[in-house]
Amino acid sequence: MKPRVLIVDDEERMATVVAMALERSGYDCVRCASGEEGLAAMAERAADVVVTDLRMPEMDGMELLRRLRALHPALPVILVTAHGSVPSAVAAMREGAFDYVTKPFDNDELRAVVGRALEMTRLQRENRYLRQEVASRYSPDSIVAESARSRELLELVRRVAASRSTVLVTGESGTGKELVARLLHYWSDRVGRPFVAVNCKAFAEGVLESELFGHEKGAFTGAVASRAGCFERADGGTLFLDEIGETSGDFQAKLLRVLQEGEVLRVGGSQPRSVDVRLVAATNRALRDEVAAGRFREDLFFRLAVIPIALAPLRERREDILPLARHFLARQCAETGRQLELGAEAEAALAAHRWPGNVRELENAIERAVVLARGAAITPEDLLLEQPSEGPAAATPAGATLQEALDAAAEARVRTALAAAKDQRAEAARALGIDRTTLYRMMKRFGIE
């Protein structure tokens, strides 16, 4: 849709000249002969920019500017006059004019001013949208945390966010490590600055160094121009380094220097550049074991783990499963326009599943179910959950003792019965063929709330 420009001028010839100049650039121009007519046109259909003459009978350009600013505070208004002077220009800018053009004006100059006004409007609109998106997605009220462990985690993140300390987030794949990093950023005073995320495993060693630290022109074959790295692009904000445990010893040494000195040296460069970056690193490896094996620098580990945050797998915080599933379902329904709910059998299947892929697997399962669902309620068949093989070996690691295997099978059976009975313990006990006292004892043993 063409940008709409409202032109207000009591001289018909001048309004026509302005309109012709702007229409050649693809703008949709509406001409009005007075300020009152311009206000009426805005009431009928809003414009993106207003270009108005300053000197007009009855309502002049300054009064029209004031009226428009009261009704549409973000609307850019450009004043045009043959009586340009510094005092009138200053007065117009104080009243909120976007810019000030004097007659006779150059058509290219006028088009450039209108283009800048439209660009400012676009950026303001985009900024409002992004702020609303951040507020809705990363506000404390929008984070699903029903289990005690999840609530404790969010409280820790909230306390840590205000600091400048480096954070090391650990946990299995799919547990939400990047979400924690984003919460640390959006809940801090760095929220207006960049958040830059890098997966260290996605780059070869030499490429990773250039990606993070930047490079100078001619530093290597193909470096046809200088380029700022992620540290420089994240200046004033937060840099998230995922899969930090996959990096080489040489890279770790260079990263350690950046963290110690607070400055980066581009590949092929000779002048260090100071950076102010809050670093959040993440890994699904046990870095202490990597240090013991000589694959990760101990000094870098301690530099990264100033504040360690460990994420529990979804199977250890099962109270979050159904609330998360409903949250993902609501989001998918909003995006697809479908109206669906989780059927009772689907909820039981979700609650009983062990979720080796954690929250990411759960989100994928809900997205898949929204696509495949044929009725108003999602069924277990729509989820297409991967079924474990028969026997306790599927739920226990290789080398587990017989008692550990039996315990794992018993725990899975108890959880399935509770989910199917919607946590009605008497009914679950009957389904299991045991009395309630035995069920309570098993729940306590397995840590089932």
Tens-digit pLDDT profile for residues 97-133: 898 788 778 888 889 999 999 998 888 877 776 666 6
Distances (CA, A) of 3 to 64, 65, 163: 21, 20, 44
Q: pLDDT value at position 224?
A: 84
SS (H, E, C) 172-214: CCCCCHHHHHHHHHHCCCCCCCCEEEEEHHHCCHHHHHHHHHC
Question: What residues have CB less than 8 Å from 175, skipping those under 6 apart?
Answer: 311, 312, 313, 314, 358, 359
Report which secondary-structure segment, H or E, holds 265.
none
Alpha-carbon distance 141 to 339, whole Å?
Answer: 23
In contact, 259 and 166? CB cutoff 8 Å:
yes
Name the average pLDDT for the chain: 87
Distances (CA, A) of 432 to 273, 336, 395, 415: 66, 40, 19, 11
Q: pLDDT value at position 156?
A: 95
Q: What is the dihedral of CA 149, 152, 157, 160, to 10 degrees?
A: -130
Lowest mean pLDDT among 22-31, 255-264, 397-406: 397-406
Mean pLDDT across 280-284: 96
Q: Where are the beta strands (DSSP E) in 184-303?
A: 195-199, 238-242, 263-264, 273-274, 278-283
| pLDDT higher than threshold 90 for residue 263 | yes
Dump pLDDT digits (tens) for 340-361. 999 999 999 999 999 999 999 9
Q: pLDDT value at position 100?
A: 79
User: Which amino acid type is present at position 84?
Assistant: G
Q: pLDDT value at position 139?
A: 64
Alpha-carbon distance 113 to 84, whole Å?
Answer: 16
- 9 CB neighbour count, 10 Å cutoff: 25
Alpha-carbon distance 51 to 34, whole Å?
Answer: 12
Residues above pLDDT 90, as percent of the chain: 55
Sequence-ordered alpha helix ranges (H) in 214-248: 230-233
Dump pLDDT digits (tens) for 173-213. 999 999 999 999 989 999 888 999 999 999 987 799 999 99
Residues forming a β-bridge with 378: 342
User: Which amino acid type is present at position 119?
Assistant: E
For CA atoms 17, 22, 27, 32, the dihedral sign is negative
Work out the pLDDT band at 216, boundaries 50, 70, 90: very high
Mean pLDDT across 239-268: 94
Work out the pLDDT band at 161, boundaries 50, 70, 90: very high
Q: What is the dihedral of CA 315, 325, 373, 341, to 10 degrees?
A: 130
Dump pLDDT digits (tens) for 291-335. 999 999 999 999 999 999 999 999 999 999 999 999 999 999 999
Work out the pLDDT band at 153, boundaries 50, 70, 90: very high
Dump pLDDT digits (tens) for 384-395. 987 654 444 444
| pLDDT higher than threshold 70 for residue 17 | yes
Alpha-carbon distance 418 to 347, whole Å?
Answer: 11
Strand 263-264, strand 273-274: pairing:
antiparallel
In contact, 422 and 344? CB cutoff 8 Å:
yes
Question: What residues have CB less than 8 Å from 216, skipping those under 6 apart?
Answer: 223, 226, 266, 267, 268, 269
DSSP letters spanning 100-148: EEESS--HHHHHHHHHHHHHHHHHHHHHHHHHHHHHHHHSGGGS---SH
Dump pLDDT digits (tens) for 409-432. 788 888 888 887 777 888 888 878
Alpha-carbon distance 320 to 276, whole Å?
Answer: 36
Q: pLDDT value at position 391?
A: 41
Q: Please, what are the domains in the chain?
A: 4-129 (3.40.50.2300), 140-312 (3.40.50.300), 317-387 (1.10.8.60), 388-449 (1.10.10)
By C-alpha distance, which of 206, 210, 207, 195 is closest to 264? 210
In contact, 157 and 187? CB cutoff 8 Å:
yes
Question: What residues have CB less than 8 Å from 293, skipping those under 6 apart?
Answer: none
Alpha-carbon distance 241 to 237, whole Å?
Answer: 13
Higher pLDDT pick, 74 / 341: 341
In contact, 167 and 307? CB cutoff 8 Å:
yes
Work out the pLDDT band at 219, boundaries 50, 70, 90: confident
- Phi and psi for 23 in degrees, rounded to 5? -65, -30
- Phi and psi for 413 in degrees, rounded to 5? -65, -40
Q: pLDDT value at position 310?
A: 96
